[in-house]
Structure 1
Amino acid sequence: MSSHIYSTGVPRAKDPSPTSPEHKPLPKANAEAIDFLSSLRQEELQLLFFSENLAMVSDTGQPKGELSIKVEKGKYKEDFGVLSNCLFVHAYSRGFLDKMLCGNSVLGYLSWQLETMEQHSHEFIKFLILPMERKITLLKQDDQLAITRSVREGEDMKTGVTFFPMSSIKGFISEAANMVLLRVMAWRQMVPSNAHFLALDTDGKFCHSTYQALGFQTMQVGHQQTNVFIVEQTVHSEDSIPMSCQYYLLRDGHLAKRVQVGSPGCCIITKMPIVREEDEPEPRPVFEKKPLAWEEDLQLYSRFLDRKEELRLSHTSYLRHHPEAQALVSDFLLFLLLRQPEDVVTFAAEYFGPFAARRPATPALRSSYRPSPFRSLDPDLDDDSESN
């Protein structure tokens, strides 16, 4: 899997104070939306790394173009040269609308909670009289999001930059983040209930974005039928009518069909992809305990006899080279049988105590002094215990 590295190339604003052309307060994402984004985990998102291609067709089924979406792991280099792992999203579409060439591209870098670090989007329609082109750049700068928007209609060009505090746009879902979020919903087979995210409308203004599950449906893909999970996203612009788009998603997040509500045509896959199933951990093998009858195993019994003979020869050799050991043990056993003490352990400690290398010297006068064989070998400690 390839990895993309990108460094910011947009100059920072000279005035870092946030500004906004809107006089009314910004809409806010609710707790349900923020909690859903907080639940995302890197291990889950890594299952959604793949590329897909869809055909753009008219309402009569005529091919009009293509749509390509790719999500993979990338690296993002910030201003201070710090590299961080991120999600890299690249989507590209190109086709014809009423015989006019049009296209759209999105390139985005996202955190693992789908926070937009940087995104570049470009949209154009080659009208015969007034060609339209729109570019929007989102760039996170410290604790702000800078939005640069430029619109060209014919020869007329309008450009503006707006800054928003990151704390005021929590729950914002950019175009790149939306493509990943849809895959998450498909993988989980659920849509967060009553969640209101933030999005940008066609005028570049913040508004609410909601998602609704429309249930499951059987869909024909080539010569194969498959179940799809349908999610409808609606961008609730405050200055124009809401815009809705329906996504038909396979179990692993692949987009099978996309329909812009109110627009002719749709995007649809022409070939069934390899659907990835959830990896289930294999159960640990259970090995039944069986008694080891090593005496009946010729190899194990042969090793036992070899080891036994090896130890016997080693012990015999040691005693042959150290006859004093056998004499010492024999003397101790004879003394033990003669005395027959009740406490054999203490008797053995008193017997072998004089052989200790670190044993303190016995006092010359010790009429009532009988040291315990278990006393400390440190003379100072013995003296202290005696004085007590």
Structure 2
Amino acid sequence: MSSKVHFPVKDQQPPSQELAPLPEANAEAINFLSSLSMEELQMLFFSETLAIISDTGEPQGELTIQVERGKYKDELGIMSHCVFVHAFSRGFLDKTLSGNALLGYVSRTLELMEQHSQEFIKFLILPMERKTSLLKQDDQIVIRRSIKEGEELKTGTSSFPWKAMKGFISEAANMVLLRVMAWRHMVPNNARFLALDSDGKLCYCTYEALGVQTFQVGRQQAEVFIVEQTVHSTEGIPMACQFYLLPDGHLAKRVQVGSPGCCIISKMPVLREKDEDEPQPQQFEKKPLVWEEDLELFSRFLERKEELRLSHTRYLRQHPEAEALISDFLLFLLLRQPQDVVTFAAQHFGPFAMHRPPSPSLRSSHRPSPFRSLDDLWDSRLARQSRQRAGT
């Protein structure tokens, strides 16, 4: 989080406009801000650089705007995600060095969290420097301003109720809002936002779409969406600024009405495109499969059945001892006629298992007697006779 900026206060008088009802944003503006989502803003996180040129086309400096995801810690120490905006410019104004810087934190719906701005003009006789700080404290937005001309410093503090700032567009929020309008290619109809004029007084702010125009940079061309922002000062004349926006939100040109020169891109950026959702596959009703009635499946079944029969016959032909084992098992099965044929088969073929665990050295007293009974001797004799017949 940026460090807090505190300025000395010489006079702390409420603005004269506080005597009159404060302006309010209308429903169209508030609803437009409420419709913003972090998923949409993520496509607008990028930095851009524009060249500052004079009315004769001579380069005078450059402007850089950076918008990215950030984190902000409020006065209670609670950390939250936000949109971080950093903009700065440096150049010459009538051969006089000048520049400004902006650092701002706004929420997903572009509500102000904190903002600091600074601008300077290095006049030879009387250099000028202006600083403005906006900070949310308790239930108010506190505005601290200082203007230094030469050695003279003027400071002042004003505040507005937080509930009266709904629909307020700070300088940082304005840079993000313009990208949103370019991405959506629309400006909310009859929307009336709130802003601060050059004297730090709360006033109305409106946006108007001026249409689409072909913009050329070098050998490349692209369509730009022109939006005009107007800050309607309560006492002075309105201030208007026109923004030429590329489809993905990049700023191609900025012109302040009535001011010489402008900001323009010198190289066409790589435009971002919206991710198109692939259509969902068509859902078909699941039908029961009756493979006996399907000629192809039934034919495969018969072929596989014949393959298995031939394979089994081939194995028995190559291993005649298998027939003797099966004959012994069938003979014992008919003699014993057990109730559980599966368990009887497991006990019969168990000794032939290759991975049979070894018998313990000390058998349990509950195990059957190791001495063979007459039935076992008779069964063994029959099995031997069966193997002899199989050998012949």
CA contact (8 A) 1:56 1:95 kept: yes
Select 2:4's aligned residue among 6, 9, 28. Answer: 9
- CA deviation vs aligned residue, 1:79-105 (integer Å, no higher than 9, x gap): 332210000001111111100111111
Q: SS where residue 102 of structure 1 aligns?
A: strand
Select 2:180's aligned residue among 179, 184, 192. Answer: 184
Q: CA RMSD in A?
A: 3.3
- For 1:323, the aligned partner's letter is P
CA contact (8 A) 1:50 1:71 kept: yes
In structure 1, what is the Cα distance between the partners aligned to 2:116 and 2:20? 27
Match of 1:377 in 2: none
- For 1:26, the aligned partner's letter is L
In structure 2, what is the Cα distance between the partners aligned to 1:200 and 1:63? 30
> Do structure 1's residue 323 and structure 2's residue 338 form an aligned pair?
yes
- CA deviation vs aligned residue, 1:364-386 (integer Å, no higher than 9, x gap): xxxxxxxxxxxxxxxxxxxxxxx
Q: How does 1:112-123 map to 2 (within 5 A)?
A: 112-123=108-119
Q: SS where residue 21 of structure 2 aligns?
A: coil
Alpha-carbon offset, residue 9 of structure 1: 2.9
Q: SS where residue 37 of structure 1 aligns?
A: helix
Match of 2:31 in 1: 35
Alpha-carbon offset, residue 266 of structure 1: 0.6
Query: Identity of aligned pairs, percent?
Result: 64
In structure 2, what is the Cα distance between the partners aligned to 1:54 and 1:12? 32
Alpha-carbon offset, residue 41 of structure 1: 1.1
Alpha-carbon offset, residue 143 of structure 1: 1.9
In structure 2, what is the Cα distance between the partners aligned to 1:301 and 1:286? 34
- For 1:133, the aligned partner's letter is E
> Do structure 1's residue 277 and structure 2's residue 276 form an aligned pair?
no
> Do structure 1's residue 169 and structure 2's residue 165 form an aligned pair?
yes
Select 1:110's aligned residue among 106, 109, 115. Answer: 106
> Do structure 1's residue 264 and structure 2's residue 279 form an aligned pair?
no
Match of 1:137 in 2: 133
CA contact (8 A) 2:46 2:66 kept: yes
Distance 1:282 1:20, change over 3 A: same
Q: How does 1:58-137 map to 2 (within 5 A)?
A: 58-137=54-133
- For 2:237, the aligned partner's letter is I
Select 1:210's aligned residue among 199, 206, 210. Answer: 206
Match of 2:48 in 1: 52
Determine which structure has more spread, i.e. the larger CA radius of gyration.
2
Distance 1:167 1:287, change over 3 A: closer
Q: TM-score, normalised by structure 2?
A: 0.72
In structure 2, what is the Cα distance between the partners aligned to 1:79 and 1:152? 29
Q: SS where residue 185 of structure 1 aligns?
A: helix
In structure 1, what is the Cα distance between the partners aligned to 2:249 and 2:299? 59
- For 1:172, the aligned partner's letter is F
In structure 2, what is the Cα distance between the partners aligned to 1:215 and 1:147? 36
> Do structure 1's residue 229 and structure 2's residue 244 form an aligned pair?
no
In structure 1, what is the Cα distance between the partners aligned to 2:337 and 2:247? 79
Distance 1:322 1:286, change over 3 A: farther
In structure 2, what is the Cα distance between the partners aligned to 1:188 and 1:228? 13
Unaligned 5+ residue runs, structure 2? 313-325, 342-392
In structure 1, what is the Cα distance between the partners aligned to 2:244 and 2:109? 23
Alpha-carbon offset, residue 220 of structure 1: 0.9
Match of 1:376 in 2: none
CA contact (8 A) 1:8 1:79 kept: no
CA contact (8 A) 2:75 2:137 kept: no
CA contact (8 A) 1:8 1:77 kept: no
Q: How does 1:291-310 map to 2 (within 5 A)?
A: 301=304
- For 1:219, the aligned partner's letter is F
Distance 1:102 1:277, change over 3 A: same
Distance 1:287 1:305, change over 3 A: farther
Select 2:244's aligned residue among 221, 245, 248. Answer: 248
Match of 1:153 in 2: 149
- CA deviation vs aligned residue, 1:156-183 (integer Å, no higher than 9, x gap): 1111121211101111100000000000
Alpha-carbon offset, residue 142 of structure 1: 2.7
In structure 1, what is the Cα distance between the partners aligned to 2:300 and 2:128? 87
Alpha-carbon offset, residue 78 of structure 1: 1.7
Q: SS where residue 243 of structure 2 aligns?
A: strand
CA contact (8 A) 1:12 1:141 kept: no
Q: SS where residue 28 of structure 1 aligns?
A: coil
Distance 1:116 1:216, change over 3 A: same
Distance 1:57 1:10, change over 3 A: closer
Alpha-carbon offset, residue 21 of structure 1: 4.7
Q: SS where residue 26 of structure 1 aligns?
A: coil
CA contact (8 A) 2:7 2:155 kept: no
